[in-house]
Amino acid sequence: AWDRALELAPTRTAYTNRGLQYYYEGRYAEAADMQRKATELAPNDHRAWGRLAESYRLLGGKEAEAAAAYERAIVLAEGSLRINPQDWRTAGQLATYYAYSGRGQEATAMADTALELSNRDPEALLYAALVAHRQGDEDATLSALEEMVERNDSFRPYAGQDPDLGTLAGNERFDRLVNP
């Protein structure tokens, strides 16, 4: 469907969503290509830059490109939060950008902000889990994921399909979470 959408009208949304599909399939080169096209159409959209950074990070050999894309995503997300400091989704996404840029304290603080602003929305819990995982806090990661699924079971596949969280496979709590 996304391929057809791109044939009809190439948009940032179509490119980034097609890129997300490739990302979750482990096809990081194709994901990066789609996200790069999304950034060309929407150069001020932090989400496209963040997704480009994720794809580069997992592609390997693109560390400098990933760092630059994360930095651009950070600048844009921080700017968005200056305009709307109540935007918990941007706060949660920014938390992950910080985490993967080695800014752990800022990541944790921003994840906490997203949780508070969202009233612990499942999506905010996913961001918090990713931040905790990046920082090596397995218990906090699993607790956030368990609460996420408890609040909304339709979020369960995100835990099982995320390439970073997939490293928890074999952990009894994680395995129970993704395969109830």
Query: Taking a C-beta distance cutoff of 8 angstroms, is the pair 46, 54 a contact?
Result: no
Helices (H) and strands (E) in the chain, counts: 11, 0
Give 95-127 pLDDT, tens digit per residue: 999 999 999 999 999 999 999 999 999 999 999
- 3-state secondary structure at position 29: helix
State the residue for tokens 């902000």. Answer: 113
Q: What is the pLDDT of residue 9?
A: 75
Per-residue model confidence as pLDDT tens digits over 27-54: 999 999 999 999 999 999 999 999 999 9
Is this structure's pTM higher than 0.85? yes
pLDDT for 7 beyond 80: no
**What pLDDT score does 8 carry?**
65
